[in-house]
């Protein structure tokens, strides 16, 4: 098991379209474990492979509240088959730290994917899971949640993230010097 480094805005890799996983192998399963460990370590509810620099169509998510048992889902080559309704809710992203904005998405989705054994599965999701899956599948297509905002809101979100990154990096430098 290994923690992986999270790719952050404005890294160009976040804009690229990820490639399908051709075969689910031990390597795929190891990557899924490392992604899950990284997601839990940073307290996220979802992580796409490109967010750790791997351009493959794969994501992990766990939207269970912290006090409840873990409920990890790994989706390989996920595809939205059906989406219904509309909701607006606040989102953040491990790759765009420090910014949270309301994003409009489908309320319910049906997603087809391969599981870690390489079997075809499908899941019907609503609520937080539906939003999380749409957010992560966007990553596989090179789309960030800030790309779904108006240009003004997007600019503000980018500025907040840049400020967050600067302050964090300054604190890290101070710690090193201390
Ligand atoms: Zn994200």
* Residues, CB within 5 angstroms of ligand 1 (ion): 93
* Residue 22 Cα to ligand 1 middle (Å): 24
Q: What angle do CA 129, 13, 141 make, to 5 degrees?
A: 45
pTM confidence score = 0.96
pLDDT digits (tens, 9 = 90+) for 33-67: 999 999 999 999 999 999 999 999 999 999 999 89
Measured CA to CA, the distance from residue 84 to residue 134 in angstroms comes to 12
pLDDT digits (tens, 9 = 90+) for 88-133: 999 999 999 999 999 999 999 999 999 999 999 999 999 999 999 9
Measured CA to CA, the distance from residue 97 to residue 160 in angstroms comes to 9
Just list the catalytic residues: 136
Name residue 47's beta-bridge partners: 60
* Residue 171 Cα to ligand 1 middle (Å): 24
Whether the ω angle into residue 10 lies within 30 degrees of 0, i.e. cis, is: yes
């Amino acid at each position: 098991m290994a923690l992986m480094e999270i790719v952050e805005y404005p890294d160009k890799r976040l804009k690229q379209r990820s490639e399908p996983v051709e075969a689910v192998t031990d390597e795929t399963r190891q990557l899924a474990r490392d992604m899950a460990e990284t997601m839990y370590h940073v307290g996220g509810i979802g992580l796409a492979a490109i967010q750790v620099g791997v351009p493959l169509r794969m994501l992990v998510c766990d939207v269970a509240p912290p006090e409840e048992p873990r409920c990890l889902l790994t989706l390989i080559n996920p595809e939205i088959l059906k989406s219904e309704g509309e909701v607006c809710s606040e989102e953040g992203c491990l790759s765009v730290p420090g910014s949270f904005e309301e994003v409009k998405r489908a309320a319910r989705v049906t997603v087809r994917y391969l599981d870690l054994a390489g079997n075809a599965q499908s899941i019907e999701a609503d609520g937080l899971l539906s939003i999380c899956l749409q957010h992560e599948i966007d990553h596989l297509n090179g789309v960030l949640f800030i790309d779904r905002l108006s240009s003004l809101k997007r600019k503000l979100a980018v500025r907040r993230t840049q400020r967050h990154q600067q302050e964090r990096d300054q604190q890290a430098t101070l710690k090193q010097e201390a």
